[in-house]
Structure 1
Amino acid sequence: MIRHIAHNLILFSGLACFLTACGQLVVKKRKLENINLFILFALMGIILLQFYSVVTFKILSYPVIISFHSTIMFIFSPILYFAYYVVAFPEIKPPKKFYLCFIPAAIAFIGDLYLFFLDNHTKQTLVQNFFGNINSPGVTLFKLGASFAILQMLLYHLALIKVLIPALHNNNGRNIILITFIYSICSASSSIIAIPGYIQGNPDFIRYSAIIISISFIFTYLIGIRYPDFLQLLSINVKKTSYSKSLLKGLNTGLLLQELELLMKDKKLFLNEEITLKDIAETLHISQHQLSQLINEKFNVNFNTFINSYRIEFAKSLLIEKPHLTVLTIAYESGFNSKSTFYDAFTKHAGVTPLEYRKNHSLKKHS
């Protein structure tokens, strides 16, 4: 009875992951982080359904279900890291060495491809050998791939735990950090439990691991309802901790702020719609992370919001001083690359739409 409930929990969580993934695609203002979350939840859904097929022994009849299992798990951890990076540092591109994290997945893909093209009878024999702990070449290949993938997951979660431990001492946002810390501990535990399951061909260990993952997913879903901006809140609080070891030590921040103001007000670099954090950092002869920290600490905003604030002030002057210009023309002349982006940023900053702003000032002028 308990085992039946556990299996249904794993199946339910796997299907729920797919529904959650689809939900990320129908977000009205879809961002890169939504695409990342779609991939993450879809991968988690596949992993859970594959676990379900293992613990219920359906894999014996349909071995194709477990196809590319190692590849999927090898991909999951780098995508998880990338999702966090995009939220924490939206203005900075991930370092090129990040893409090296996908090399294990590429290697695993070759092995999984070999297993995929085996005939169905051979696959069924391999599955039977897996459960019987008979280490034929195909079974050994699968066990090694899956075990190393789980080990990689464990290392990624341990790295995240290492980042979170110092942040636990912060009073602000401590609940967010604590929630993520507990989730990471659970995920790391599920990885530790799963490894002997693969090595020994023991479905019980895989079942326990899948149950922990399922509970973690449900926990994450409920937290997402409680904290809709959970990822943003997490990144803000982790940033505060990382910034406690300041990257600005030894720099004349007063002079840097003056130079930054000069670039914005006099040279109007914000009018270039393709301006990036890297461009301005190179002009100031500091790193991207140093400039990001400088803007975060001194203005309490990220780089994109900082640049847009200057663009909006410039647009305000055009709306009043040049009433013959259309909103679209003003958007482009202010450095925005689309009318919708301009409208969203302007409304958020000014509290009214560009047309309402122009109309209000026109009425004041004639009153």
Structure 2
Amino acid sequence: MFTRFSLRDYNFKLLITVIIAMICGVVMINSADSSFTPKQTIGIGLGVIIMIFVSLLNYDFVCRFYRVFFIINAVILLSVIFFGVEVNYAKRWIMIGGSGGIQFQPSEFSKILMILFTATFLDKLKEDNKINTLKGLCLFVLLIGLSLALIAVEPDLSTTLCLAMVLVTMLYLSGLSYKIIGIALLVFVPLAGSFLWYIQRPNQHLLRDYQVNRILQFIYPGQYGSDYTQQNNSVMAIGSGQLTGKGLNTSTIATVKDANFISEQQTDFIFSVIGEELGFVGSVIIIAILLLIVLQCIHVARNAKDTKGMLIAAGMGCLIAYQTFINVGVATGVIPNTGLPLPFISYGLSSLISISIGIGVVLNVSMQKTSY
């Protein structure tokens, strides 16, 4: 159950880099809204303890329960549909203990559960030489499609797309044939065009109105402009920080933060606080810290002892990389407005604890490294 190791085998580089990212996060959250600082600080302490504990568990032992992970994932996602708390037309949270209790977001834990499940499932498909068979691919699509569909109906389109990208990348890394990839691209491109055409039709049934508006705002900002203001204000905040920023905890009406031009800035738009208060230099440093974590995950994947360990580490690296790109892309107006936390930085205990569990498993993979 537990992995025997010596201290020299422990990946302190990854552990310390993650803790530094968490500390940077609580500093920026405190600057955005200090009322959230105590909870996030407790979350960091709890996250580090959980991360170290999980890192001592043998990932081979953990992955034996991959079927259980799939069932748990389905149960918690279904519980959101039936018992979830609705906020801004979306049911993404479950409240434990009634009003004033603990609120958590199951889709955040779903990311980790699905990475562990998919890594083990693909490892078994590869052992049976079924990765590039119709039966194997159909089973893969069916199983991950179920979880993605449950997240999509909350609705949480951003998490659905991000997790889909991670799992598809894991499928590619497991040894997917380039012939199949080429066929998939030939099918995907016209489907994407048809999707954009269809969502602009009256009475379309694929997306909610606000989701369609966000996409159309990005494509036609002059025609669909009202809700695009949030991103415009974020870009203005980042630009106003210039090279070195206005300084932490700046409390003047001259700041976008204190003028309340961006709502819930401590979560999805935390990068606007970073850009405004730390400037270009601070923004680059934060991105560099997250990049180091991703590179460490890739290094662990390259040196993993088996396919399963490689896919777990690569999946976690992809999750952090994709979420960072989406969060920063939204804050800078590069992609349409959608809600995803900046890993380790944004406020949110569900995100912090779940990703700590994932990094804990990666740390265990790194302790069992044998040239893959």
TM-score normalised over the length of structure 2: 0.28
Q: Which has the higher helix share?
A: 1
